[in-house]
Amino acid sequence: SPVSIPPPQCLKKRMVVPQRYMFGPGPSNVPPRILEAGANPVIGHMHPETFEIMSQIKSGIQYMFQTQNRTSFAVSGTGHTAMECAIFNTVEPGENVLVGVNGIWGERAADMAQRIEATYCYCSCCVVRLQALSKHRPVLFFLAHGESSTGVLHPLDGIGDLCHKYGCLFLVDCVASIGGAPVYMDQQGIDILYTGSQKVLNAPPGTAPISFSERACQKVFNRRTKPVSFFLDLSWLANYWGCDDKPQRIYHHTGPVTAFYSLRESLAVLADEGLENSWERHQKVAEYFHTGLESLGLKLFVKEKRARLPTVTTIVSPPGYDWKEITSYIMKKHNLEISGGLGPSLGLVLRVGLMGFNSSEANVDMVLEALRDALQHCHRSKV
């Protein structure tokens, strides 16, 4: 019998995707070299050439994270998938997770822990952290290095040692910071580190580099229960990525091969520039931006200079203005994305991300001009 639902008219039109300046907290613009890499032919997810590209990705991740961990690979999915991969594999039901909260990502980590029937507790500063480690005896401590919702860069030194003293694994989210601020996974005693492809790496969203230390692997591979997710089960993923001792790689899921090509190329771009150069460039451009914001009369949300994330800047939402009108005006008039707050910073800030190849003084000038124009033309109530 004939189908009762006709082909949709909308699919008969050509798809339209505009060019846009992506200066929000991500995704960032994808440069031609990385876009072109993604346009290579699709081959099999188990073909030797794909395994070779995956192996190059592993080396790139080891460099980017500054780690020798052999269990370093990319999860098929965004940063959230890597976050769940970290938590679902390392924590068993009934265990305790300690969550450092300096924005939305801690809240999300707690939510994930709750879903697997782990208990969680929050802590917000160093003293509380020490007390909380000895009191709650968590198996995992979560911390966002770069909190994209509040624009805070959290120091990492010393925390790994402290966690290990209490038999706890140290999990760090560096989605918004990696490549833009120093992270030394091995030296800093980080047990699980993950990021996303769509920020400083300038690759399309959809792959999430992650790495597990030997200590983390010990915990994962000696679980009493199976991890709740088949898709994110570390023993399957480690085998698919050739990180274990098994002679054969077994089909687990169909790796997004074109996303792997883009990720490989984005890691090559980072390796070409060099981590130290990239960190320095992001810091310099951020400082230039912050000075420019202050000369427009705007205020930075993070007062302490050292605690400012160089990749994503949070600006106090200008008093008297509706932040949504500002972001919409800038999108419409300047074809440029900046965003409002997220989670605890919603309504309080504007957020500007200048990440990877977007991090340049020319782009800062463009954002400053757009903000100046918006402050002049958007509606201002008398306060």
Chain positions contacting ligand GLV, by CB under 6 A = 25-26, 148-149, 342
CB of 173 to ligand GLV, least distance (A): 10
3-state SS class at 364: helix
Q: Which is nearer to ligand GLV, 38 or 353 (CB)?
A: 353
**Helix orientation angle between 257-273 and 48-65, rounded to the nearest 10 degrees:** 40
Q: Which is nearer to ligand GLV, 160 or 180 (CB)?
A: 180
Q: Are 194 and 86 contacting, i.e. CB atoms less than 8 angstroms apart?
A: yes
Q: Which is nearer to ligand GLV, 139 or 208 (CB)?
A: 208
Q: Which residues contact 270 (CB under 8 A, 6 or more apart)?
A: 60, 63, 64, 179, 200, 201, 278
Q: How far apart are CA 73 and CA 268, in angstroms?
A: 15
Q: Is the dihedral of CA 307, 312, 318, 323 positive or negative?
A: negative
Alpha helices of 47-182 — where are they, by DSSP H?
48-65, 79-90, 104-115, 126-136, 159-165
CB of 286 to ligand GLV, least distance (A): 16
* Helices H / strands E in the chain, number of each: 12, 14
CA distances from 150 to 121, 206, 258 (A): 20, 24, 33
Q: How far apart are CA 371 and CA 297, in angstroms?
A: 11
Give the residue ranges of the annotated binding site.
Answer: 351
CB of 342 to ligand GLV, least distance (A): 5
Q: How far apart are CA 203 and CA 211, in angstroms?
A: 19
Token pair, residue 359, equals 């991090």
3-state SS class at 228: coil
Q: Which is nearer to ligand GLV, 26 or 204 (CB)?
A: 26
CB of 149 to ligand GLV, least distance (A): 6
The number of beta carbons lying within 10 Å of the beta carbon of residue 232 is 22
Residue 292, Cα to own-chain centre: how many angstroms? 26
CB of 198 to ligand GLV, least distance (A): 8
Task: Name the E strands within the chain.
Answer: 21-22, 71-76, 96-100, 119-123, 140-144, 146-147, 152-153, 169-173, 192-194, 207-212, 312-316, 336-337, 339-340, 349-353
CB of 103 to ligand GLV, least distance (A): 9
Q: How far apart are CA 5 and CA 128, in angstroms?
A: 59
CB of 314 to ligand GLV, least distance (A): 10
Give the residue ranges of the annotated binding site for substrate.
Answer: 351
Q: Which is nearer to ligand GLV, 185 or 342 (CB)?
A: 342
Q: Which is nearer to ligand GLV, 213 or 345 (CB)?
A: 345
CB of 24 to ligand GLV, least distance (A): 7
Q: Which is nearer to ligand GLV, 148 or 363 (CB)?
A: 148
Q: Which is nearer to ligand GLV, 148 or 211 (CB)?
A: 148
Q: How far apart are CA 260 and CA 7, in angstroms?
A: 32
